[in-house]
């Protein structure tokens, strides 16, 4: 006698591991945001409209923001790894994760290689700071775009990809506007782009956390 086939099981759960990476990413993002806002309050000597974030890395309270940069870089890598673990095989790619890791390394380099202050001769350290800062923006936003594209290949993530992809493309375009629009107030323009990038990272981290928390695990039928 042929036994009836088992009922279809629920879609697989990403499990607790991606949730841990999502929480790590969220913690790092919150730490960076709190540090950045706090330094703007603690450094009234700097004009928030015209002073770039790099100036807050120098002088009083600078080590606090340097640590926040490193934490943000680690959070980007954590998010990339968590998304890799939480998506189906067809949606996985090493490219977004690699770009997030490179963006994180660039952030750490930017934090500890100081920019050249206005009115002084250019230095190698200032050159390294400038190149790594641009690399951080480029690696992060390119990784965001590629990650959003890959999410479209996973049925469970397509709703997220509908807003994640245009948002990521907007962030990618904004770094080029920032680079080419020389008359823009440098501090305000840069911080607007950073806020858009942070918003995307927070939104996707929350989506990863909700997805890994609410997904239904597979139950293996008993023989």
pTM for the model stands at 0.86
The candidate with the shortest Cα–Cα distance to 170, out of 197, 198, 135, is 197
Element (H, E) at 218: none
Average pLDDT, the chain: 88
Asked if residues 200 and 144 have their Cβ atoms less than 8 Å apart, the reply is yes
Is position 9 within any domain? Answer: no
Residue 120: per-residue pLDDT: 79
Considering the domain boundaries, does residue 174 fall inside one? yes
**222, part of any domain:** no
pLDDT, tens digit, 9 for 90 and up, residues 20-53: 999 999 999 999 999 999 999 999 999 989 889 9
DSSP line for 65-121: HHHHHHHHHHHHHHHHHHHHHHS-GGG--HHHHHHHHHHHHHHHHHHHSPPPPTTS-
Overall domain count for the chain? 1
| Segments forming the whole domain that contains residue 51 | 16-114+123-214
pLDDT tens for each residue of 136-162: 999 999 999 999 999 999 999 999 999
- Domain membership flag for residue 219: no
- Between 212 and 169, where is the model more confident? 169
In a domain, 70, yes or no: yes
Residue-wise pLDDT for 81-105, tens only, equals 999 999 999 999 999 999 999 999 9
Tell me how many degrees the CA angle 5-8-11 measures, rounded to the nearest 5.
Answer: 150
Task: Give the pLDDT confidence score for residue 223 in this predicted structure.
Answer: 37
**pLDDT interval class at 11 (50, 70, 90):** very low
Q: Are 133 and 160 in contact (CB under 8 A)?
A: no
Measured distance CA(28)–CA(30) in Å, rounded:
5
């Amino acid at each position: 006698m042929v036994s009836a086939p088992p009922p279809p099981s629920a879609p697989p759960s990403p499990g607790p591991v991606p949730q841990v990476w999502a929480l790590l990413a969220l913690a790092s993002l919150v730490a960076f945001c709190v540090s950045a806002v706090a330094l703007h309050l603690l450094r009234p000597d700097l004009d928030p409209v015209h002073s770039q974030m790099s100036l807050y890395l120098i002088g009083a309270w600078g080590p606090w923001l340097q640590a926040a940069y490193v934490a943000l870089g680690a959070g980007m890598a954590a998010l990339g790894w968590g998304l890799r673990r939480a998506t189906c095989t067809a949606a996985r790619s090493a490219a977004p994760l690699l770009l997030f890791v490179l963006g994180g390394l660039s952030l750490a380099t930017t934090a500890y290689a100081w920019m050249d202050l206005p009115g002084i001769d250019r230095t190698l350290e200032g050159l390294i700071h400038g190149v790594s800062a641009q690399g951080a923006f480029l690696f992060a936003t390119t990784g965001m775009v590629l990650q959003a594209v890959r999410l479209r290949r996973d049925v469970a993530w397509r709703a997220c990809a509908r807003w994640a992809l245009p948002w990521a493309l907007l962030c990618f375009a904004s770094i080029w506007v920032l680079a080419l629009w020389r008359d823009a107030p440098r501090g305000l323009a840069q911080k607007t782009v950073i806020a858009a990038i942070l918003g995307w990272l927070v939104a996707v981290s929350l989506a990863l956390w909700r997805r890994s928390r609410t997904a239904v695990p597979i139950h293996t039928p008993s023989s």
